Amino acid sequence: MLRRNIRLRREYLYRKSLEGKERLLYEKKRKIKEALEEGKPIPTELRNEEAALRQEIDLEDNYTSIPKTHIDDEYANATVRDPKILLTTSRDPSAPLIQFVKELKFVFPNAERMNRGGQVISEIIESCRAHEFTDVILVHEHRGIPDGLIISHLPFGPTAYFGLLNVVTRHDIKDKKAIGTMPEAYPHLILDNFKTKLGERTANILKHLFPVPKPDTKRIVTFANRSDYISFRHHIYEKPGGPKSVELKEIGPRFELRLYQVKLGTMEQSEAQIEWVIRPYMNTTKKRSFIGNEPEPDDKRKRNKA
């Protein structure tokens, strides 16, 4: 098993190393295509390669013309089988953290919760690879308050690091009768305002934690991004008066996520390349949003219309 994992990792890194060459070749083909379509002369730096590149262009179709990336490899099998998730915590978890992870087990379908004990991360990752888990979610705490969540996709990554804020569990909601029981049907997903390239990457990591739902399921999971803070909400809906009357009921838990790092590798690989990380000066850039586009304030819209 160890040799197989090493071989698969080497193959993945080799395919990843070819991305730069494939992207350069794609740009050359694109320039030749544009020149031919617009009736312009071929760029001088490409005239020696024109015949070979035009032959390759003629053999390509819509699927093969765009080069693949390591992102395609990471989630290549995501549509083949449903996700299988392992949930665990930091060592010596408090009672509130254990309660929060128990509720997360019902939020993510096909999730299994494991008591961390004295196991190290590398052992957990290797065991999950051997048992064909697709993701590992690790929840951290500070003085009994959950404050961090790490999502690591297997077998090669990526790993996303989130800060956890404003956690409200079902256990903390006083009106237990109003929220009812937690359904186990596969939920519909709402991913709001993940507009940038980093936002699409984040949405891709989050959406592959959930399997494809049935069309008639009444369970909804929402990830709504505002000012780079991702709000998680969990609802079910009912139609008491027919199709035109819809009632939403929040069933919890609720929390906010703040992305601060994306790493091209799994959780235990300290040497893995960092794809994106938040820097100290980024906290002062009030007008810039990294995950989504911020809506204009109402007074600014009125001035633009005037």
Would 62 be classed as within a structural domain? yes
Cis amide leading into 93 (omega within 30): no
Mark whether 157 and 274 lie in a shared domain: yes
Instruction: For residue 203, name the pLDDT band (cuts at 50, 70, 90).
Output: very high
Please give the residue range of the domain that contains residue 172.
Answer: 83-285
Please write the tens of the pLDDT for every residue from 76-109.
777 788 999 999 999 999 999 999 999 999 999 9
Whether residue 103 is found in the same domain as residue 204 = yes
Lowest mean pLDDT among 42-51, 90-99, 203-212: 42-51
Residue 144 lies in a domain: yes
Same domain, yes or no, for 113 and 13?
A: no
Q: How far apart are the first and last CA of the chain?
A: 67
In a domain, 39, yes or no: yes
Has residue 41 been placed in a domain? yes
Same domain (yes/no): 2, 135: no
Assess if residue 305 is contained within a domain: no
pLDDT number for residue 172: 78
What is the pTM for the complete model shown? 0.79
pLDDT digits 0-9 by tens, 216-260: 999 999 999 998 999 999 999 888 877 778 888 888 899 999 999
User: Does residue 183 form part of some domain?
Assistant: yes
Beta bridge partners of 294: none
The number of distinct structural domains making up the chain is: 2
Query: Which alpha helices (H) appear in the chain, and where do they start and end?
Result: 2-17, 19-38, 50-59, 70-74, 95-107, 121-130, 176-179, 197-207, 298-305
Residue 138 shares a structural domain with residue 191: yes
pLDDT tens digit sequence for 264-278? 889 998 888 898 998
Taking the C-alpha atoms of residue 91 and residue 225, their distance in angstroms, rounded to an integer, is 30
Tell me, yes or no, whether 92 and 31 share the same domain: no
Mean pLDDT score across all residues of the chain? 84
Pairing of strands 254-264, 145-153: unpaired
Q: What angle do CA 190, 193, 197 make, to 5 degrees?
A: 115
pLDDT for the residue 202: 94
pLDDT at 173: 72
Q: Nearest 10 degrees: CA dihedral of 240, 241, 242, 243?
A: -80
Instruction: For residues 157 and 257, state if they share a domain.
Output: yes
* 127 in the same domain as 246: yes
What does the pLDDT average to over 292-306? 58
